[in-house]
């Protein structure tokens, strides 16, 4: 499917799909440990990237197309999608004087212990579908999240049309969203939707390589029992880091998907050499499995000093990581996830792209 916003990109340049509607999601705060703190995921993140990429002849900035709800519904349950579409308008109590609504009561499986599954709607829908207090919903959050999906799908389409790499500046990010739960500052799973879209477009086996500092619990849940989509993640150890309840090495998939989930927790203050050793394990699984395309959940919260993690990667390390991913020799869709050191975020992304392009140029 070709959409009006999609451009044919010259082989010599790398497509970077923009996400203009991301500005509609502008959270002022998130709540951690009961404290309202300045939100990590600000509009300044994308602004910094666009500034760093401006004028680079190696990059072609590309507008996203429009793909509608069908690809979203291929991955997410109807109840979650409908809730997100109407969450702000239906929020209770009234929204006077606030720019975000947060869950304050959460559905827990033991809340109804012995009573069977929940079949009623109830007034606490936000706490039914959201699993944390980090993720508020604002008046244009749905529109921004849906546009972020369009950005991911446009990048995926470009790879189907022959681009070796397409980058999507997705915001809000997405890898914490499962079939019917959202959180972690994410609302729709951009990488998961893109992976399924590639499958529906004829790619027989897709790998999702998650390089965000935090475990992509949502992406793992989407594909945990499937053999056609591999999920491999390098992330902060759940003993220390969000989302705490997923991401251990013994989570390897279930049923037909047994062995198709790879979790590689990072040691504290991991540096480039050790990180690349772990990355080699993940990419080795991708190569051994005969996968035909890779979707990268590309987070830069592994940067030394990032407020949300304890890794110690440098801008130069991202160039090495980009080269390593390019070494797979597979069509690659790279989608922005986290990364909150705004002053270096654009340089870090460019370093990753530059490394990928360098390796690509050296391949026969």
- pLDDT tens by residue, 323-333: 999 999 999 99
pLDDT band at 158 (very low <50, low <70, confident <90, very high): very high
In this prediction, residues 147-174 reach a mean pLDDT of 98
Question: Per-residue pLDDT averaged across 92-121, rounded?
Answer: 81
Distance (Å, whole) CA 215 – CA 169: 20
The answer to the question of residue 179 being in a domain is yes
Q: Give the pLDDT confidence score for residue 97 in this predicted structure.
A: 75
pLDDT of residue 75: 98
CATH number, residue 169: 3.40.800.20
- In sign, the C-alpha dihedral spanning 305, 308, 312, 314 is negative
Instruction: Tell me which residues are annotated as active site.
Output: 176
Within-domain flag for 28 = yes
* Structure token pair of residue 190: 């951009």
pLDDT at 201: 97
- The secondary structure of residue 355, as a DSSP letter, is H
**Alpha-helical runs (H) found in the chain:** 44-53, 70-73, 78-90, 125-129, 141-160, 190-200, 217-223, 272-288, 315-326, 342-362
Query: Is 347 inside a domain boundary?
Result: yes
**Residue 152 located in a structural domain:** yes
- Number of Cβ atoms within 10 Å of the Cβ of 99: 13
In a domain, residue 40? The reply is yes
Q: What is the mean pLDDT of residues 5-18?
A: 70
Q: What is the mean pLDDT of the chain?
A: 94
Q: Does residue 221 contact residue 186 with C-beta atoms inside 8 Å?
A: no
pLDDT number for residue 133:
95
Confirm whether 42 is domain-assigned: yes
Q: What total of structural domains would you count in the chain?
A: 1
Q: Which of 101, 132, 173 is nearest to 33 (CA)?
A: 132
> H or E stretch including 123?
none
Q: Which of 205, 244, 203, 245 is nearest to 223 (CA)?
A: 205
Give a yes or no: residue 241 inside a domain.
yes
Put residue 305 in one of left, alpha, beta given phi > 0 → left and psi -120 to 50 → alpha: left
In a domain, 95, yes or no: no
Q: Which residue has the higher pLDDT, 94 or 57?
A: 57
Report yes or no: 229 and 198 within 8 Å, Cβ to Cβ: no
Mean pLDDT over residues 28-34, rounded?
A: 92
What does the alpha-carbon distance between residue 219 and residue 203 come to, in Å, rounded to a whole number? Answer: 18
| Largest pairwise CA distance in the chain | 62
Q: For the segment 245-263, what is each residue's pLDDT rounded down to a tens digit?
A: 999 999 999 999 999 999 9
Structural domain boundaries enclosing 270: 14-70+139-362
Q: Which residue has the higher pLDDT, 116 or 313?
A: 313
């Amino acid at each position: 499917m070709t959409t009006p916003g999609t451009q044919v990109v010259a082989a010599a340049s790398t497509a970077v799909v923009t996400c203009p509607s991301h500005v509609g999601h502008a959270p002022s705060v998130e709540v951690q440990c009961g404290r309202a703190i300045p939100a990590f995921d600000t509009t300044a993140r994308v602004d910094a990237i666009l500034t760093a990429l401006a004028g680079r002849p190696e990059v072609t900035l590309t507008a996203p197309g429009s793909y509608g709800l069908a690809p979203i519904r291929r991955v997410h349950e109807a109840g979650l999608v409908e809730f997100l579409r109407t969450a702000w308008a239906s929020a209770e109590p009234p929204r006077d004087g606030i720019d975000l609504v947060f869950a304050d009561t959460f559905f827990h499986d033991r809340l109804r212990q012995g009573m069977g599954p929940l079949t009623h709607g109830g007034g606490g829908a936000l706490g039914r579908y959201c699993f944390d207090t980090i993720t508020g919903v604002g008046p244009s959050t749905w529109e921004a999240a849906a546009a972020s999906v369009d950005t991911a799908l446009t990048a995926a389409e470009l790879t189907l049309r022959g681009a070796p790499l397409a980058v999507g500046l997705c915001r809000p990010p997405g890898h914490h969203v499962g079939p019917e739960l959202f959180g972690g500052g994410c609302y729709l799973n951009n990488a998961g939707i893109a992976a399924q879209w590639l499958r529906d477009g004829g790619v027989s086996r897709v790998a999702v390589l998650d390089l965000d500092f935090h475990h992509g619990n949502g992406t793992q849940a989407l594909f945990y029992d499937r053999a056609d989509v591999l999920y491999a993640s390098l992330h902060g150890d759940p003993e220390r880091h969000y989302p705490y309840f997923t991401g251990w090495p013994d989570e390897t998939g279930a049923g037909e998907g047994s062995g198709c989930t790879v979790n590689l927790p990072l040691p504290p203050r991991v540096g480039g050499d050790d990180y690349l050793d772990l990355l080699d394990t993940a990419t080795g699984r991708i190569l051994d499995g005969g996968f035909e395309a890779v979707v990268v959940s590309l987070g830069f919260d592994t940067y030394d000093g990032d407020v949300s993690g304890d890794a110690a990667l440098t801008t130069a390390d991202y160039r090495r990581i980009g080269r390593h991913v390019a070494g797979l020799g597979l069509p690659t869709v790279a989608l922005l996830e986290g990364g909150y050191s705004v002053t270096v975020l654009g340089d870090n992304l460019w370093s990753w792209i530059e490394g990928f392009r360098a390796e690509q140029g050296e391949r026969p």
